[in-house]
Structure 1
Amino acid sequence: MMNFKNINIGELIETKWAEAEISIERTCNFFKLNEDEIMQMFHQNSLNTDMLLKWSKLLEYDFFRIYSQHLILFGPPSNIYGENAKQKKQASSLPTFKKNLYTREIIDFILELIYTGEKTKSDITQEYGIPKTTLYKWIQKHKTT
């Protein structure tokens, strides 16, 4: 099960790299680094965004999405009706994203927590801020047989 709370990106990259069976020579050439520098990255908890983008391209996997899932689960809830709502609605030159977009991976992660008994439905709604109705719809829709 993917741990979205404590992300060790170096370890995840190493796992995907091994699965992809990309040679160390090709990897070194791609990054213009030596083998030791590549191996050191596998032991880092975080990488800069340029490096993460390169790994995403080489391995054809969106490592940034792991952090997006973390934000969905553990980020602060957006307050569209609070007293600062007007201030938050100010135009920005940056793109805006909805916080409450639950991917299949997030749904599976949440349901696995429930099915394994690691968390109760109440724990899920309180800890992750997922509405009860949404959670019950997921359970109904994705029932395991």
Structure 2
Amino acid sequence: MAWTPAGEAVNSARLAEYYKLPGAYLNKQLQALVRAGVMTSVSGPRGGFLLARRPENITVLDVVLALEGPEPAFRCEGILGNSPEADTEMNFVRSCLISQTMRQAELVWRQALARQTIAGIADSMERRFPEDRQKALDFLAADAG
């Protein structure tokens, strides 16, 4: 969608067909992106979805948070508290070395995603596969059916 002209909506059915995804699944994901302010939906015969901001202002982290939510990927269950003679007052989320390692890894992962923009991915794709941009635009612009 970073390749589509500004203000031009992409039909979700065409997008689902292009990526061979179930339409209902893709629509659910697109609606989550709309709720997060990453995309905008347009109703009507020429409706569909478009980026709500310029591609260089949308990070991969924005997309991940919109689709997966802000909660950490790793959730410490505090199983160390179940060990014999465990200190019930201890915060195992903070003291567990596994939890600390996972939180540190997630921070690095999120920082990497925050540095990568949708525009950067589109530019890399175009350099690596120069013919794909026009193929995608032609497919998405064609009448569905």
The bucket for the TM-score relative to the shorter chain is under 0.3
Q: Which has the higher contact order (CA 8 A, sep 6+)?
A: 2
TM-score (norm 2): 0.24
User: Could you say which structure has the larger radius of gyration?
Assistant: 2
Is the strand fraction higher in 1 or 2? 2
